[in-house]
Structure 1
Amino acid sequence: MLSRIDTELGDRLKDAFRRFPTGVAVIAAGGPRGPAGLTASSVASVSVDPPALSFSVMGSRSARAILAAPSLTVNLLGPPHLALARDFARSDGPRFTPDQGWDVLPTGEPFLPGAQASLRAVPLHRLPVGDSTVVVAEVVDVLLGPARGRLVHHDREFHPHHGDES
């Protein structure tokens, strides 16, 4: 149980990161019950040699399926994917519908051909931290899509930016 000081610190930490804009991705994996996916704003490049990235997830059903998968895709989103980001951010949002543009790699992972990039990755480390799990994954393939601006998560909302806007 958090003390009052810890709760206040946690709230201030959340406020601090709401002021920090981040990119948006949908992390997806195939599984025994079909594909699973979720929106993430915690994706970061970790290393080029070996090629690796990291992200964190909380304990949702989709997160548990992703954590159990032997491989996954990290689909970096642009402005055309605003609705998709919102859908995958909600537990009851539609997922992997035909109109969302998903396809499946020969290795079985769902990927989004229209994404800025789709990174196929294999988890190397899963580190539980509080109610989250940090995943470090080796990137084994990079599929580049069209570069069409940016989709940014800031202050609990998604913001599309087209072209060279500031």
Structure 2
Amino acid sequence: MLRVERAGVKELLTDEMKSAFRRYPTGVAVISAIGPDGPVGLTASSVASVSVAPPALSFSVMSTPTATAILAASSVVVHLLGAKHVDLAHEFSHPAGRRFTPEQGWETLPSGEPVLPDAPAALRAAPLHLVPVGDSTLVVASVLEVFHGPDDGPLVYHRRKFVTEGIS
């Protein structure tokens, strides 16, 4: 049943929207950048292609210390993850998760950003527009470089879980 916002039902609408998007599978990415205290990164399921000519993408982040550092960076790397990165996606989705450990395989680009060479794709991008929306910020970014890693099976986020099985 579709519901619309009326006086006094804003919380219900918020819950209904969350429920709707939990049913919508999305790809999984890790966004990394250099912050004032070193590398920062977070898991995102909101990455989208905006334009191929000129190359641009978008993603959104919630108000967190990591997101604040990413929003302040002059460039970011958006890693489109595959099935073998399910543990990495989980670690970067929690504030206390392990990040940028040697066993995760991170390297540093000549421009300074952390990059995961075994991600199926990594896109270095520079923010064009930061659009505040509620407690989130929509980022539209110009793609500066694209790096292709090895092919991998899909990794999606669905019903609040990272899923690798049963997807073709």
TM (norm. structure 2) is: 0.94
Q: CA RMSD in A?
A: 1.1
Identity over aligned pairs, percent: 60
The CA deviation at 1:161 is 4.0
The CA deviation at 1:32 is 1.9
Aligned pairs (5 A) from 1:45-64:
45-64=49-68
Question: Which residue is equivalent to 1:144?
Answer: 148
Provide the secondary structure at the position in 1 that maps to 2:56: strand
Alignment partner of 1:128 out of 125, 128, 132: 132
Q: Which 5+ residue runs of structure 1 have no aligned equivalent? A: none
Q: Is 2:76 aligned against 1:105?
A: no
Aligned pairs (5 A) from 1:16-165:
16-161=20-165, 165=167
Q: Which 5+ residue runs of structure 2 have no aligned equivalent? A: 1-6
State how far apart, in whole Å, the 2-side matches of 1:140 and 1:160 are.
29
TM (norm. structure 1) is: 0.95
The CA deviation at 1:4 is 3.6
State how far apart, in whole Å, the 2-side matches of 1:95 and 1:120 are.
19
Q: Would you say the 8 A contact 1:149–1:161 is kept in 2?
A: no
State how far apart, in whole Å, the 2-side matches of 1:161 and 1:118 are.
23
The one-letter amino acid paired with 2:101 is T
